[in-house]
């Protein structure tokens, strides 16, 4: 059948569904319009070069990249263990690892504080032994970010590893490769698209992290105040700055989404 | 013996495999059986991917699996070269890296591993493919790379799991012949797993027929052909397979003066000729018809096979024909009888070798 003779039959969708769909879309579009509406375009350059914003950008860049790095070096081995080794309590561990995805981040921050705080179960002996106090330092921001972001990486990578049928890995083993070699040279390259997606998801999640960070690391400008924290503080003091930082975060998030759209949006 | 395996292994609650198999150094044994007969379980067991429940496996002088002695050598230390059914090449590596993977994993430095791989690629005529990645290879090329990769670890046992099944009919005979040459150049024990009787009879000296996880017959190709233990084996081994040269429809059969006429001229040069036993007619007097496909010979043996009997005839062409016991009685056939045989040209199947 040629293009000119093909008829497409599309029924008019039910009105109730169209209305609900429009309301839902408005929920996403209107706040963005509100943000653009309030954006102080003329002051934007000044705002972005102010100390408070530059400090926040620096903290956010350092901590989000550091925590994405930690997510990979710790999360990938954990994903391998969860997908490839049968051990007692594996299902419980998997549930615990994914808990931060649904837990209110502020609860996570409080839990981190009880563990690593000056009086915490780990924090107290650590302080006594080394004098190092984790909370309210840039390290605390990195730990809080990693706590909320790593589950995204582990879930993505573990799912990819479980969906490999294992036959290529078996073939590599017959050629004499150790488990570590098989993982590094066969499994990891095969799941690299999922690994990349997991890294980006984890990085984006830690860039936007607020609740656990403010609870565990506080909001100290130049030390622990990341971009989302700076927005929250600026809402009280300088609304224009809050809008400017928000706009920056929207643009970054949007760029990430577009860059990875082929992975997350399957277009027919 | 370089492979001495006698074991019971269990794939699931309801399916177990129990076999006894010996393969001598420098020889090929075929494990012939239908799908679901337990062939892939045996591959897993010998490669070390599945532990046996009972028995022992010895490869070379080394005991690799023996539950009663608490011995189990894991897959990476077995040195069993495996050519998997769908080859399982590593798509992220090029051909050279695929072949060098084994030596590299064994701890050889990169330059040594590369040298080993290049030597094999030269032997297989794969030099020009070094930089290609597996998805760019044809089925036949992929099979050769898989074989080279398995041989690169200098295995003491080579397992070939349906090495020709992924190829189309047109290329299968050609690669079967090249596989035969490569197998001859490998001096370890070779175990060929296949459901295709042609592979088994053309590539192996010894054949083990497997059904439902049990060996139903084992012996040389000739013994199996002569004395098939079950109708299944008879059906598998019945087809007369000949290697010949086709020149415009005239087939000169290797090792025989007899010429055959075929209408099939699509495949020329070296060909594989297959004649079903039911296509061969036996007479006591010279029949009328094509003089080319009719000749005088003698009955060498008669074997009953359930509903039919298989009549073997000798020089100039050793063939088997299936006849009913009634026909055998009315023709008064017995070993030593002088007979005429006739084959319809249209029943002779010719494929490129």
- pLDDT, tens digit, 9 for 90 and up, residues A162-173: 999 889 999 999
Tokens, residue B82:
């495996």
Q: How many CA atoms lie within 13 A of B246 on its CB side?
A: 23
Contact yes or no for B79 and A185 at CB 8 A: no
**Confidence at A96, pLDDT banded by 50, 70, 90:** very high
Domains of chain A: 46-263 (1.10.3720.10)
Share of chain B above pLDDT 70, in %: 91
Question: Is the distance from CB of B109 to CB of B115 less than 8 angstroms?
Answer: no
Contact yes or no for B102 and A175 at CB 8 A: yes
Strands B308-313 and B319-323: antiparallel
| Chain B CB within 8 Å of residue A178 CB | yes
What is the DSSP track for B228-296? -SSHHHHHHHHSEEEEEEEETTEEEETT-S-EEE-S--SS-EEEEEEE-GGGEEEESSPPSS-STTEEE
Give the model's pLDDT for residue A4. 55
Which of A168, A176, A182, A185 best probes binding to B when mutated, by most B CB atoms within 10 angstroms? A176
Of B88, B92, B101, the CB nearest to A189: B92
Share the mean pLDDT of chain A: 91
Question: Is the distance from CB of B41 to CB of B9 less than 8 angstroms?
Answer: yes
**Confidence at B348, pLDDT banded by 50, 70, 90:** confident
Give the model's pLDDT for residue A262. 65
Contact yes or no for A174 and B75 at CB 8 A: yes
**Confidence at A267, pLDDT banded by 50, 70, 90:** very low
Lowest mean pLDDT among A32-36, B136-140, B346-350: B346-350
Give B320's contacts (C-beta < 8 A, 6+ positions apart).
B225, B238, B240, B277, B280, B310, B311, B312, B313
**Confidence at B180, pLDDT banded by 50, 70, 90:** confident
Tokens, residue B90:
């590593």
Tell me what the mean pLDDT of segment B261-283 comes to: 73
Give the model's pLDDT for residue A149. 96
Task: Establish whether this prediction's ipTM goes over 0.85.
Answer: no
Tell me what the mean pLDDT of segment B68-78 comes to: 92
Give the model's pLDDT for residue B195. 85
Bridge partner list, A268: none
- Give the B-side interface with A, CB within 8 Å: 47-49, 75-82, 84, 88, 90-92, 101-102, 105-106, 149-150, 152-153
More confident residue, A124 or B339: A124
């Amino acid at each position: 059948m040629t293009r000119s003779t093909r008829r497409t039959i599309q029924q008019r969708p039910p009105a109730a569904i169209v209305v609900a769909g429009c309301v839902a879309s408005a929920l996403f579009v209107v706040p963005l319009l509100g943000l653009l509406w309030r954006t102080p375009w003329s002051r934007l350059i000044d705002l972005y070069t102010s100390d408070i914003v530059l400090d926040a950008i620096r903290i956010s860049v350092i901590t989000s990249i550091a925590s994405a790095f930690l997510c990979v070096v710790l999360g990938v081995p954990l994903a391998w263990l969860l997908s490839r080794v049968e051990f007692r309590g594996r299902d419980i561990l998997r549930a615990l690892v994914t808990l931060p995805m649904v837990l209110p981040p502020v609860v996570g921050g409080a839990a981190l504080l009880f563990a690593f705080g000056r009086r915490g179960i780990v924090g107290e002996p650590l302080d006594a032994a080394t004098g190092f106090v984790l909370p309210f330092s840039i390290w605390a921001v990195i730990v809080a970010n990693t706590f909320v972001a790593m589950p995204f990486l582990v879930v993505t990578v573990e799912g990819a590893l479980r969906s490999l049928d294992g036959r290529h890995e078996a073939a590599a083993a017959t050629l004499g490769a150790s488990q570590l070699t098989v993982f590094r040279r066969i499994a990891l390259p095969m799941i690299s698209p999922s690994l990349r997606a997991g890294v980006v998801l984890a990085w984006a999640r830690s860039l936007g992290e607020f609740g656990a960070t403010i609870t565990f690391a506080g909001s100290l400008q130049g030390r622990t105040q990341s971009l989302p924290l700076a927005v929250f503080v600026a809402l009280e003091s300088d609304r224009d700055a809050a809008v400017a930082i928000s706009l920056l975060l929207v643009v970054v998030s949007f760029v990430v989404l577009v860059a990875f759209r082929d992975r997350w949006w399957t277009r027919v | 013996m370089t492979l001495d395996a006698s074991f019971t292994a269990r794939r699931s609650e309801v399916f177990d495999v129990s076999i006894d198999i010996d393969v001598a150094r420098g020889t090929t044994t075929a494990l012939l059986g239908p799908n679901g007969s337990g062939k892939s379980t045996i591959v897993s067991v010998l490669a070390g991917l599945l532990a046996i429940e009972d028995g022992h496996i010895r490869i070379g002088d080394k005991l690799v699996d023996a539950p009663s002695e608490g011995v189990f050598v894991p897959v990476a230390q077995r040195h069993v070269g495996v050519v998997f059914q769908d080859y399982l090449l590593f798509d992220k590596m090029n051909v050279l890296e695929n072949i060098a993977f084994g030596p590299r994993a064994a701890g050889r430095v990169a330059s040594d591993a590369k040298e080993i791989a290049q030597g094999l690629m030269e032997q297989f005529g794969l030099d020009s493919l070094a930089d290609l990645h597996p998805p760019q290879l044809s089925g036949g090329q992929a099979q050769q790379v898989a074989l080279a990769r398995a041989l690169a670890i200098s295995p003491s046992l080579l397992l070939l799991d349906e090495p020709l099944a992924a190829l189309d009919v047109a290329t299968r005979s050609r690669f079967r012949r090249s596989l035969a040459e490569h197998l001859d150049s490998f001096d370890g024990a070779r175990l060929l797993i296949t459901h295709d009787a042609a592979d088994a009879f053309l590539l192996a000296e010894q054949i083990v027929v497997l059904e439902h996880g049990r060996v139903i017959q084992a012996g040389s190709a000739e013994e199996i052909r002569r004395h098939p233990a079950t109708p299944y084996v008879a059906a598998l081994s019945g087809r007369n397979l000949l290697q010949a040269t086709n020149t415009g429809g005239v087939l000169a059969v290797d090792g025989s003066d007899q010429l055959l006429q075929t209408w099939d001229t699509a495949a020329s040069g070296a060909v594989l000729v297959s004649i079903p036993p039911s296509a061969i007619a036996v007479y006591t007097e010279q029949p009328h018809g094509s003089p080319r496909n009719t000749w005088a010979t003698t009955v060498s043996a008669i074997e009953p096979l359930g509903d039919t009997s298989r009549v073997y005839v000798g020089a100039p062409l050793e063939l088997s024909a299936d006849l009913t016991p009634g026909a055998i009685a009315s023709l008064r056939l017995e070993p030593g009888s002088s007979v005429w045989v006739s084959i319809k040209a249209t029943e002779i199947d010719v494929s490129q070798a």
